[in-house]
Amino acid sequence: MSNEKNFEKHPCYNVKAKGKYGRVHLPVAPKCNIQCNYCNRKYDCVNESRPGVTSTLLSPEQARVYMDKVLEKEPRISVAGIAGPGDPFANPEETLGTMRLIKRDHPETILCLSTNGMNLAPYVPELAELGISHVTITLNAVDTEISQHIYAWVRDGKVLYRGKQGAELLLARQLQAIESLKQHGITVKVNTIIIPGVNDHHIPVLAARLKELGVDLHNCIAMIPNADTAFEHLEEPSKEMMNRVRKEAEEYVPQMRHCARCRADAVGLLDNDKTEEFRGCLSSCSQLPKPKETVRPYVAVATLEGVLVNQHLGEATRFQIWGEDGQGGYQVVEERPAPATGGGSQRWHNISRLLSDCRAVLVNDLGDSPKEILKKKGVQPVTMAGFIERGLEAVYTGRGLSQLQGRMRKCSSKGACAGGGNGCG
């Protein structure tokens, strides 16, 4: 579907579409990597409509079934989005897995994501490959003197940052993500939560920066004071304040004025929401048994010439993918380029997704960090030296795996692999 048609059928980006086309939010992303001072996900009243709220969670496969049922009852749904209840890229496997299933089963559906942008940039090329055409990033300030008061903490991996340090990290990641999205031709909307006395005076500066970045649409949203949050004592912005900031921002970026402040499980048209009607369906889908994992058919190999296993995981620029030939032997199915070096542990997550249909990967050696990541994703790392066929026979038959020996030069990273491709894994 072309970008122009996507725009015509996306009710959040095109006000003329809101009475013709609808959206469904698939709640598959429970974890979040930042804590906003206005956000509380604990409450779920059936009458409340706000981001971060859902009645239940779905797995990617459950979301696929739910999507089928939604389209049966409401064929005007044109958009499938993920907006939480946490952040899509604090849950990248669930997010991307769900998007791939929807794309496979409903290729005409517009794919859309809403994120804080903290962990988005490394996944942008994959989003473009998947055909995700619209991404929303919540960006509340471009001045960390302001944003340090909006976030309680920001988490990068296992490290927690607070105050200005956290605000600086988050802003850098958000700006990087927006630039990358635009480079990949993805339509970008920025949501800004208007917080009286905190960032309402900052909107013209923020909007000017969004214009420089090429942002397509800006959505100023009135903060909802939530119980048990740092901002619960603040008043909700008045209509006069919202009209003022939108008018100021509109000097730089087109404004969205029809936002429904959707829940993470919203479904229906913006002006004819059916979330309550589908609540039972959502609940029943969440109870569906998770499918048993099928046996993965392939084995990946890190090899220079296609005869020997002779590359460290960090050195590999490509992987040969092998499978059984049906006659008791093995054959090369294809070659896959490896993700670019660098990026630390993110590279190992990218490789684990690249090899998601492989039961094992044959390498000379690898560090502790990629080993654990691959094993967690169901790809067994096998360290060895010698002929590829020997490793394949051991993997497929289960005999002799313990006898395979890796090369003598060991990983020097002690588990802290940087993904630089220099043999340190």
313-362 pLDDT, tens digit per residue, is 999 999 999 999 888 899 999 999 998 877 677 889 889 989 989 999 99
Of the pLDDT bands very low, low, confident and very high (cuts 50, 70, 90), residue 405 is: low
Task: Note whether 381 and 371 are within 8 A (CB).
Answer: yes
pLDDT at 296 over 80: yes
pLDDT at 409 over 50: no
The domain over range 3-286 is classified in CATH as 3.20.20.70: yes
Specify the CATH number of the domain 298-403.
Answer: 3.30.420.130
What average pLDDT does range 379-400 have in this prediction?
A: 89
What average pLDDT does range 257-264 have in this prediction?
A: 82
pLDDT at 411 over 90: no
pLDDT at 406 over 50: no
Three-state secondary-structure class, residue 352 = helix
Q: Which pLDDT score, from 0 to 100, does residue 27 have?
A: 94
> CA 300 to CA 15: how far, in whole Å?
48
DSSP track, 210-265: HHHHT--EEEEEE----TTSTTTTSPPPPHHHHHHHHHHHTTTS-B--------TT
Q: Which pLDDT score, from 0 to 100, does residue 414 have?
A: 46
Which of 50-59, 187-196, 226-235, 365-374 shows the lowest mean pLDDT across its residues?
50-59
pLDDT at 108 over 50: yes
Which of 67-76, 333-342, 362-371, 394-403 shows the lowest mean pLDDT across its residues?
394-403
Of the pLDDT bands very low, low, confident and very high (cuts 50, 70, 90), residue 187 is: very high
Phi, psi at 341, each rounded to 5°: -70, 160
Q: Which pLDDT score, from 0 to 100, does residue 418 have?
A: 46
What average pLDDT does range 236-262 have in this prediction?
A: 92
pLDDT at 39 over 90: no
pLDDT at 46 over 90: no
Which of 77-91, 106-120, 276-290, 302-316 shows the lowest mean pLDDT across its residues?
276-290
The proportion of the chain whose per-residue pLDDT surpasses 90, expressed as a percent, equals: 59
Domain parsing of the chain, residue ranges? 3-286, 298-403
pLDDT digits (tens, 9 = 90+) for 129-161: 889 999 999 999 999 999 999 999 999 988 999
In terms of pLDDT, which residue wins out, 240 or 41? 240
Question: How far from 47 is each of 29, 54, 273, 274, 370, CA to CA, in Å?
Answer: 22, 11, 12, 12, 45
pLDDT at 101 over 50: yes
Secondary-structure percent of the chain, ordered helix, strand, coil, rounded to 5:
35, 20, 45
Task: Note whether 316 and 363 are within 8 A (CB).
Answer: yes
pLDDT at 291 over 80: no
Averaged confidence pLDDT in the chain: 87
Burial of 204 (0-12, 13-18, 19+ CB in 10 A): middle
Task: Note whether 360 and 380 are within 8 A (CB).
Answer: yes
> CA 214 to CA 182: how far, in whole Å?
7
Q: Which pLDDT score, from 0 to 100, does residue 415 have?
A: 46
**Whole-structure pTM over 0.85, yes or no?**
no
Of the pLDDT bands very low, low, confident and very high (cuts 50, 70, 90), residue 408 is: very low
What average pLDDT does range 189-201 have in this prediction?
A: 95
Which of 31-45, 86-100, 237-251 shows the lowest mean pLDDT across its residues?
31-45
In terms of pLDDT, which residue wins out, 146 or 126? 146
